[in-house]
């Protein structure tokens, strides 16, 4: 843990994620504390804590021009190790899932990731990329199960401005939720800058965008980045709102997302958020989300970062699922790219 | 709340009855005056004046050394005494009101002999006050100090009913209440943040402090605004007799204090005015500066300092003026040239107090105080063309009038009022990115806080004594303010309030009652009830308070915190006052307690109060205390058995949970032994039940990254805390000139002698990833301070 990393998390993300800066303030002070009391001693211990696993966790999304999808998993006891063989134990099968608007509805069907490639490209690529799996490697995943539209109804896609209800029936439980797809907003322009530290300028560069926030308060953003043909990736802090900059136009640093499953507690100041010099097409997807959806990501990201912070308190994730945990979120997205000229 | 109402009515009635009884007295006269320290002319606080052979006829000096004792006409043997000082006796033929100003000299010359600490016999048995502890700085200095820094707050932590907020921390929890529920006063000025460096050191430089009083039970009516305790710290006044200098060099800081009269008095006389200057600064990182100079981090530093100033001037026998000020800062600077980054974070308190004492007559004493205090935190950071600033703070202006009316030896009245104007600044941020400016729009808050009080001390007879008090407090949130409500779906609605326009008003009737019944030889039973209101609050997500924590005031959303405390105690002295012992039990109801919601995440430009949830609490416990006051071996043992629970509809699914201030067992032992006149040793041992924490217990996956679930709130206890500290002090007496003024002393202290690895916090180390299928979490126990020796050299001139 270095002072460096905290400073960088702060300043890189300030405008983009104003709250990061605020928590960065604590972290910076925390670092000072660590330096002063380098005598701190760490020891592995055993905690005898009761847990209540097997809660149903919903991860479902609907985006403009894309079909809805839902991943159903279960919670496990914290100290159960996860290995590649029991990954499948996470997934909840045989659920009845219905997505509906005021005028229409669709019942989702369950697919295994190993057959993702057999789906029509329009669904498969989009869905795989959606949660960070490259279509080529998807087959390598045993038993990742996804609920999405049936092959007979592949044109059921999200429409901007609509409200989508979700109803899940599984194991005698009923879970419900509802979300909206807000009108999207995108950067007026994108540009590149070299890495600020000359020593790294040969290997990395930065991407900036010019954002005009809409005049009304209450815009909630989530962004994804994609380099060349990689999947869309998110940063450890992927959401921000316009509380601090409502209606303004300004420049914003766009950090490159981290590969999924990477350890969020590891942070390299000089490389994290920077784009690789080999990346030639820098694609950004900027989504508008509604407040409950935003609250989910905001609290989840805090839930992850509050782990092990002696100055912070634990954060429970705010879910918009009635009868369960997780999220049902709509994305109003626009995707744009900066193509680098070699 | 019905109980509350009954208590109020009953207490008012009692109060009225006792007022009526004030009349119909025999002919009496009054002895009054000031008691001072012979060595420097400072007022002696809490010194005793009593009639020999009748300990129930007596008076105690107030904060300014004033006493007033009314007695029947006739000849009386009067004794004047103060702990650690020679007692003086005078025969007085009382046929008119008389003034006796006296100077008492301490026992330092007689150190070789056993120190006879003279105190009015059975003082702790005879007064009505419960849960009060008085600590002289000299006694505090004999306690082994962490890194050699003598710390008043950490000495208070060794008292029963008082718990340390955490390892090495100067935050305190009193009788199951939070750290914001303690009223910390430095010469009448509220100190909002009492810690340097995350609370590892308190802001009070012991060299500048004369006396510290802690009230943890039924608070006297002249104090208010907090629920749990009062820590009233009096700065030294300055030496009215001669130039005096003291200081010290320790491993992390150095100190220097200068005291002198404005004009040197003739021979043994006392000058009319004197001043004190005291400063302290750390230099741990200054030493590293030459090493950093050539690196990327040149200019990175951390230090803190404190400055105390005080002056007093006596215009006449009846008028005296005190001016005191405190200024302290923590400063953290971070520079990195390569990454074009600079950050500066200063924070700290400033206070200023002007006090004017006036004696109207032998019985009526008045003090008027004007106080300014300020706490602020600021942050400024810059990286390339991006900059960010944040600021938060509290600023008060306060005026206070207190009157002591010594009616006769049965009745003593205290009454007064105070007014405070608060300005609270929530975190206000501004940023600049390229050419665009950003600014947060959270309003500053302004308010009036007013209180009137009256207290009547009534000695019915030798056995029975009552203390009736009533405080009426009023709090008003005032404009300018703009209230925004709504969201982007229903639309926003803004209401503007003009300057000084009342927005929300709260009124708090606060009855206070205490009584004592003395019996047998040196026994007494005391009882007390107090209702307190608290209008300003500090909610912290960590165990202690952080410099970034923001004080908030009551508003339409945040109601005043309230506490009703009942306490009963049995007091007994043994062996001619060599031992003092007591057992106190208390029960507290707490209302409108505040915590952050379970999903709260700090956000800029969002009012913090919107993240609060409210609930109630209960705290109860028993405190056992035994103190050996005299002899070469002296010290105390305090043990507390207690519980503190909270119930919030929005926390822990509405179920009762232990407060983070809950400690089942808490034991403190402090011993001091004077081997001879040059050597002394001190030892401290503390044991406490571990902190209640909320452990993580479940794992689930979102986007193939972990989402952590938690067990019931505060359902897990970290291992118990215990630690022993030792200190050895050597004060050489020069053989040739044993009376020379220059005195040196050397102190070696060892913190955590047996290197106990106490838990500071527990976190889960995450290894591997879900994607590679080897995610593993391991709980890690982090302990902070191993055995830490320190060395301090102190001098006095």
Q: From B338, which residue of chain A is nearest by alpha-carbon distance?
A: A197
Work out the average pLDDT over A146-150.
88
pLDDT band per the 50, 70, 90 thresholds, residue B23:
very low
Domain closes at, from A128, A147, A180? A180
Q: What is the helix (H) or strand (E) element at residue A193, kind and residue range?
A: strand A189-194
Q: From A211, which residue of chain B is nearest by alpha-carbon distance?
A: B436
Work out the average pLDDT over A194-203.
86
Helix (H, G, I), strand (E, B) or coil at A126: helix
The CA distances from residue A252 to A336, A338, B460, in Å, are 15, 15, 76
pLDDT at residue B269, rounded to an integer:
74
Q: Is residue B127 part of a domain?
A: no
Q: Do B434 and A251 touch (CB under 8 A)?
A: yes
Structure tokens at A54: 């097997």
Residues of chain A in contact with residue B384, where contact means CB-CB under 8 angstroms, are 196
Q: Do A243 and B604 touch (CB under 8 A)?
A: yes
Question: Which residue in the set A10, A78, A216 is minimally distant from B696, CB to CB?
Answer: A78
Cβ atoms within 10 Å of B258's Cβ, excluding its own: 17
Work out the average pLDDT over B480-487.
80
Minimal CA separation from B620 to chain A, in Å: 26
Question: Which residue in the set B379, B438, B770 is minimally distant from A244, CB to CB?
Answer: B438
Q: Do A78 and B698 touch (CB under 8 A)?
A: yes
Helix (H, G, I), strand (E, B) or coil at B210: strand
pLDDT band per the 50, 70, 90 thresholds, residue B652:
very high
Structure tokens at B352: 């200023």
Question: Which residue in the set B381, B436, B700 is minimally distant from A57, CB to CB?
Answer: B700
Helix (H, G, I), strand (E, B) or coil at B239: coil
pLDDT at residue A139, rounded to an integer:
47
pLDDT band per the 50, 70, 90 thresholds, residue B332:
confident
Q: Is the pLDDT of residue B337 over 90?
A: no
Q: Is the pLDDT of residue A217 over 90?
A: no
- What residues of chain A, 102 to 161, have a C-beta less than 8 Å from chain B? 131-132
Cβ atoms within 10 Å of B492's Cβ, excluding its own: 12
Name the nearest CA neighbour of B212 among B150, B166, B147, B276.
Answer: B150
Same domain, residue pair B403 and B489: yes
Minimal CA separation from B493 to chain A, in Å: 12
CATH number at residue B44: 2.60.40.1120
Minimal CA separation from A36 to chain B, in Å: 9
Q: Does A90 touch chain B (CB under 8 A)?
A: yes
Q: Does A98 touch chain B (CB under 8 A)?
A: no
Q: Does A218 touch chain B (CB under 8 A)?
A: yes
Minimal CA separation from A327 to chain B, in Å: 9
Cβ atoms within 10 Å of B307's Cβ, excluding its own: 17
Residues of chain B in contact with residue A80, where contact means CB-CB under 8 angstroms, are 699
Cα A292 from Cα A222, distance rounded (Å):
13
Q: Do B708 and A304 touch (CB under 8 A)?
A: yes
Q: Is residue A39 part of a domain?
A: no
Cα B259 from Cα B245, distance rounded (Å):
6
Q: Is residue B128 part of a domain?
A: no
Question: Which residue in the set B384, B488, B775 is minimally distant from A216, CB to CB?
Answer: B488
Q: Is the pLDDT of residue B596 over 50?
A: yes
- What residues of chain A, 170 to 199, have a C-beta less than 8 Å from chain B? 196-197, 199
Q: Does A34 touch chain B (CB under 8 A)?
A: no
Q: Is residue A33 part of a domain?
A: no
Q: Do A59 and B774 touch (CB under 8 A)?
A: no
Q: From B544, which residue of chain A is nearest by alpha-carbon distance?
A: A311
Angle among Cα B482, B484, B487 to the nearest 5 degrees reads 170
Residues 6+ apart with CB under 8 A from B696: A49, A78, A307, A314, B708, B709, B710, B711, B764, B777
Rg of chain B in Å (alpha carbons): 27
Minimal CA separation from A120 to chain B, in Å: 23
DSSP state of B96: S
- Tens of pLDDT along A71-87? 999 988 887 766 656 66
Give percent above pLDDT 90 in chain B.
46
Same domain, residue pair B138 and B84: no
Cα A187 from Cα A338, distance rounded (Å):
11
Q: Do B107 and B81 meet the contact criterion of CB atoms below 8 Å apart?
A: no
Q: Is the pLDDT of residue A9 over 60?
A: no
pLDDT band per the 50, 70, 90 thresholds, residue B6:
low
Instruction: Suggest the residue from A25, A83, A263, A328 to mutate for an interface test with chain B (most B CBs closer than 10 A).
Output: A25
Q: From B548, which residue of chain A is nearest by alpha-carbon distance?
A: A26
Domains contained in chain A, number: 2
Same domain, residue pair A194 and A329: yes
CATH number at residue B203: 2.40.170.20
Q: Is residue A19 part of a domain?
A: no
Same domain, residue pair B196 and B47: no
pLDDT band per the 50, 70, 90 thresholds, residue B535:
very high
Q: Is residue A1 part of a domain?
A: no
pLDDT at residue B44, rounded to an integer:
87
Same domain, residue pair B33 and B148: no
- Tens of pLDDT along A39-56? 567 888 888 787 777 899
**ipTM > 0.95 for the complex:** no
Q: Do A7 and B334 touch (CB under 8 A)?
A: yes
pLDDT at residue A143, rounded to an integer:
61
pLDDT at residue B115, rounded to an integer:
36
CB pairs under 8 A between A and B: 303
Burial tier of A61 (Cβ tally within 10 Å: 0-12, 13-18, 19+): buried
Q: Is residue A48 part of a domain?
A: no
pLDDT at residue A14, rounded to an integer:
38
pLDDT band per the 50, 70, 90 thresholds, residue B263:
confident
Q: Is residue A307 part of a domain?
A: yes
Q: Do B697 and A49 touch (CB under 8 A)?
A: yes
Alpha helices in B181-262 (DSSP H): none
Out of A322-331, B105-114, B484-493, give the one with best mean pLDDT. A322-331
Q: From A262, which residue of chain B is nearest by alpha-carbon distance?
A: B769
Same domain, residue pair B108 and B145: no
Q: Do A244 and B604 touch (CB under 8 A)?
A: yes
Q: Is B419 left (phi over 0), alpha (psi -120 to 50) or beta?
A: beta
The mean pLDDT of chain A is: 80
Cα B521 from Cα A198, distance rounded (Å):
83
DSSP character string of B385-435: TEEEEEEEEEEEEEEEEEEEEE-SSSEEEEEEEEEEEEEEEEEEEEEEETT
Q: Do A29 and B548 touch (CB under 8 A)?
A: yes
Out of B159-173, B235-249, B288-302, B487-501, give the one with best mean pLDDT. B235-249
Minimal CA separation from B432 to chain A, in Å: 9
Residues of chain A in contact with residue B708, where contact means CB-CB under 8 angstroms, are 78, 303-304, 307, 314
- Tens of pLDDT along B540-589? 876 656 777 889 999 999 999 999 999 999 999 888 778 999 999 999 99
Name the nearest CA neighbour of B706 among B777, B763, B601.
Answer: B777
pLDDT at residue B271, rounded to an integer:
82
Q: Is residue B697 part of a domain?
A: yes
Q: Is the pLDDT of residue B208 over 80?
A: yes
pLDDT at residue B734, rounded to an integer:
81
Cα B418 from Cα B400, distance rounded (Å):
4
Same domain, residue pair B783 and B689: yes
pLDDT at residue B1, rounded to an integer:
46
Same domain, residue pair A250 and A106: no
Q: Does A11 touch chain B (CB under 8 A)?
A: yes
- What residues of chain A, 243 to 302, have a C-beta less than 8 Å from chain B? 243-245, 248-252, 259-265, 269, 291, 295, 298-300, 302
Q: Do A11 and B383 touch (CB under 8 A)?
A: yes
Q: Do B782 and A310 touch (CB under 8 A)?
A: yes
Q: From B439, which residue of chain A is nearest by alpha-carbon distance?
A: A244
Cα B614 from Cα B648, distance rounded (Å):
6
Q: Is the pLDDT of residue B391 over 70?
A: yes
Domains contained in chain B, number: 2
Helix (H, G, I), strand (E, B) or coil at B454: strand
pLDDT band per the 50, 70, 90 thresholds, residue A138:
very low
Q: Is residue A17 part of a domain?
A: no
Residues in chain B: 797
Question: Which residue in the set A19, A43, A78 is minimally distant from B601, CB to CB?
Answer: A19
Same domain, residue pair B105 and B139: no
Domain closes at, from A154, A180, A206? A180
Q: From A300, which residue of chain B is nearest by alpha-carbon distance?
A: B707
**Which residue, chain included where needed, has tokens 């309230």?**
B562
Same domain, residue pair B102 and B188: no
Q: Which domain holds residue B550?
A: 134-796
Q: What backbone torsions phi and psi does residue A68 show, to the nearest 5 degrees?
A: -70, 150
Q: Which domain holds residue A265?
A: 183-339
DSSP character string of B249-292: E-SSEEEEEEEEESSPPSTT---SEEEEEEEEEE-TTTTTHHHH
- Tens of pLDDT along B90-107? 888 888 888 888 888 876
Q: Is residue A295 part of a domain?
A: yes
Q: Does A162 touch chain B (CB under 8 A)?
A: no
Domain closes at, from A113, A145, A180? A180
């Amino acid at each position: 843990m270095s002072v460096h990393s905290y400073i960088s998390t702060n300043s890189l993300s300030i405008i983009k994620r104003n709250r990061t800066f605020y928590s960065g303030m604590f972290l910076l002070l925390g670092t000072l504390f660590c330096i002063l009391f380098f005598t701190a001693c760490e020891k592995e211990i055993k905690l005898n804590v009761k847990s209540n696993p097997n809660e149903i966790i919903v991860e479902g999304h609907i985006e403009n021009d894309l079909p809805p999808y839902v991943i159903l998993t279960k919670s496990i006891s914290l100290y159960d190790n996860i290995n590649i063989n029991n990954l499948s134990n996470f997934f909840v099968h045989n659920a009845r899932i219905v997505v509906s608007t005021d005028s229409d509805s669709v019942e989702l069907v369950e697919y295994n990731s190993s057959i993702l490639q057999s789906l029509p490209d329009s669904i498969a690529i989009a869905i795989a990329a959606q949660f960070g799996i490259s279509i080529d490697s998807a087959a390598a995943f045993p038993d990742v199960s996804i609920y999405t539209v049936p092959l007979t109804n592949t044109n059921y896609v999200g429409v901007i401005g609509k409200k989508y209800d979700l109803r899940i029936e599984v194991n005698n439980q009923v879970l419900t939720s509802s979300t909206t797809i807000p009108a999207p907003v995108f950067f007026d322009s994108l540009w590149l800058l070299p890495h600020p530290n000359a020593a790294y300028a040969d290997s990395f560069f930065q991407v900036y965008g010019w954002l005009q926030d809409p005049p009304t308060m209450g815009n909630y953003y989530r962004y994804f980045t994609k380099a060349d043909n990689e999947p869309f990736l998110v940063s450890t802090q992927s959401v921000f709102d316009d509380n601090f900059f409502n209606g303004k136009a300004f420049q914003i640093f766009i950090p490159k997302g981290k590969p999924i499953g990477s350890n969020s507690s590891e942070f390299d100041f000089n490389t994290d958020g920077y784009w690789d010099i080999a990346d030639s097409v820098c694609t950004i997807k900027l989504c508008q989300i509604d407040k409950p959806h935003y609250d989910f990501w905001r609290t989840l990201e805090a839930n992850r970062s509050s782990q092990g912070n002696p100055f912070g308190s634990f954060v429970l994730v705010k879910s918009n699922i009635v009868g369960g945990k997780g999220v049902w979120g709509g994305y109003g997205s626009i995707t744009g790219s900066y193509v680098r000229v070699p | 709340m019905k109980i509350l109402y009954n208590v109020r009515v009953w207490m008012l009635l009692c109060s009225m009855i006792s007022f009526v009884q004030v009349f119909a007295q025999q002919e009496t006269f009054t002895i009054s005056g000031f008691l001072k320290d012979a060595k420097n002319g400072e007022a002696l606080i809490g010194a005793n004046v009593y009639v020999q052979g009748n300990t129930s006829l007596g008076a105690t000096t107030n904060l300014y050394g004033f006493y007033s004792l009314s007695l029947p006409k006739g000849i009386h043997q009067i004794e004047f005494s103060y702990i650690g000082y020679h007692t003086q006796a005078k025969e007085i033929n009382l046929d008119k009101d008389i003034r006796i100003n006296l100077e008492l000299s301490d026992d330092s010359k007689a150190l070789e002999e056993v120190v006879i600490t003279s105190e009015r016999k059975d003082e702790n048995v005879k007064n009505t006050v419960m849960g009060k502890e008085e600590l002289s700085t000299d006694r505090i200095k004999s306690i082994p100090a962490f890194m050699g820094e003598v710390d008043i707050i950490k000495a208070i932590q060794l008292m029963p009913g008082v718990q340390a907020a955490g390892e090495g921390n100067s935050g305190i929890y009193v009788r199951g209440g939070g750290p914001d529920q303690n009223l910390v006063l430095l010469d009448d000025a509220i100190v909002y943040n009492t810690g340097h460096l995350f609370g590892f050191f308190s802001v009070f430089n012991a060299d500048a402090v004369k006396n510290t009083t802690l009230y943890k039970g039924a608070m006297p009516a002249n104090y208010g605004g907090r629920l749990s305790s009062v820590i009233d710290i009096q700065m030294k006044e300055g030496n009215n007799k001669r130039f005096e200098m003291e200081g010290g060099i320790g491993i992390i800081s150095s100190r220097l204090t200068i005291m002198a009269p404005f004009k040197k008095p003739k021979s043994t006389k006392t000058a009319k005015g004197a001043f004190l200057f005291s400063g302290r600064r750390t230099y741990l990182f200054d030493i590293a500066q030459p090493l950093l100079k050539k690196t990327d981090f040149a200019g990175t530093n951390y230090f803190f300092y404190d400055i105390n100033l005080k002056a007093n001037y006596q215009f006449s026998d009846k008028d005296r003026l005190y001016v005191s000020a405190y200024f302290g800062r923590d400063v953290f600077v971070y520079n990195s040239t390569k990454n074009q980054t600079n950050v500066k974070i200063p924070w700290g308190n400033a206070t200023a107090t002007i006090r004017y004492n006036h004696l109207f007559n032998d019985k009526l004493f008045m003090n008027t105080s004007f106080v300014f205090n300020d706490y602020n935190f600021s942050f400024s950071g810059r990286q390339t063309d991006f900059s960010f600033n944040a600021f938060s703070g509290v600023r008060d202006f306060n005026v206070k009038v207190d009157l002591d009316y010594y009616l006769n030896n049965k009745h003593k009245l205290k009454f007064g009022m105070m007014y405070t104007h608060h300005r609270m600044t929530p975190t206000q941020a501004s940023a600049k990115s390229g050419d665009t400016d950003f600014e947060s729009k959270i309003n500053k808050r302004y308010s009036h806080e007013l209180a009137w009080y009256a207290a009547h001390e009534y000695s019915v007879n030798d056995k029975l004594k009552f203390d009736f008090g009533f405080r009426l407090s009023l709090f008003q949130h005032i404009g300018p303010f703009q209230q925004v409500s709504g969201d982007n779906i229903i639309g926003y609605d803004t209401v503007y309030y003009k300057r000084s326009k009342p927005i929300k008003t709260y009124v708090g009737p606060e009855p206070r009652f205490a009584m004592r019944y003395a019996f047998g030889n040196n026994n007494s039973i005391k009882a007390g009830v107090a209702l307190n209101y608290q209008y300003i609050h500090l909610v912290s997500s960590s165990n202690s308070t952080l410099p970034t924590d923001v004080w908030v005031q009551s508003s339409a959303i945040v109601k005043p915190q309230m506490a009703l405390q009942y306490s009963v105690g049995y007091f007994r002295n043994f062996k001619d006052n060599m031992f003092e012992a007591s057992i106190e039990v208390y029960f507290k109801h707490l209302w409108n307690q505040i915590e952050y919601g379970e999903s709260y995440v700090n956000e800029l430009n969002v009012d913090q109060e919107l993240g609060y949830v409210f609930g109630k609490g209960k705290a109860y416990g028993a405190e056992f205390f035994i103190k050996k006051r005299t002899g070469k071996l002296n010290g105390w043992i305090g043990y507390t058995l207690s519980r503190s629970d909270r119930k919030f509809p929005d926390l822990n699914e509405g179920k009762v949970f232990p407060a983070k201030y809950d400690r089942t067992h808490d034991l403190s032992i402090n011993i001091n032994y004077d081997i001879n006149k040059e050597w002394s040793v001190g030892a401290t041992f503390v044991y406490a039940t571990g902190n209640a924490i909320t452990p993580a217990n479940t794992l689930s996956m979102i986007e193939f990254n972990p989402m952590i679930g938690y067990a019931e709130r505060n359902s897990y206890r970290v291992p118990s805390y215990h630690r022993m500290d030792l200190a050895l002090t050597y004060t050489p007496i020069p053989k040739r000139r044993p009376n020379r003024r220059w005195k040196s002393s050397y102190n070696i202290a060892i913190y955590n002698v047996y290197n106990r690895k106490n838990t500071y916090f527990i976190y889960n180390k995450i290894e591997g990833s879900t994607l590679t299928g080897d995610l593993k979490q391991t709980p890690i126990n982090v302990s902070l301070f191993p055995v830490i020796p320190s060395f301090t050299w102190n001098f006095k001139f």
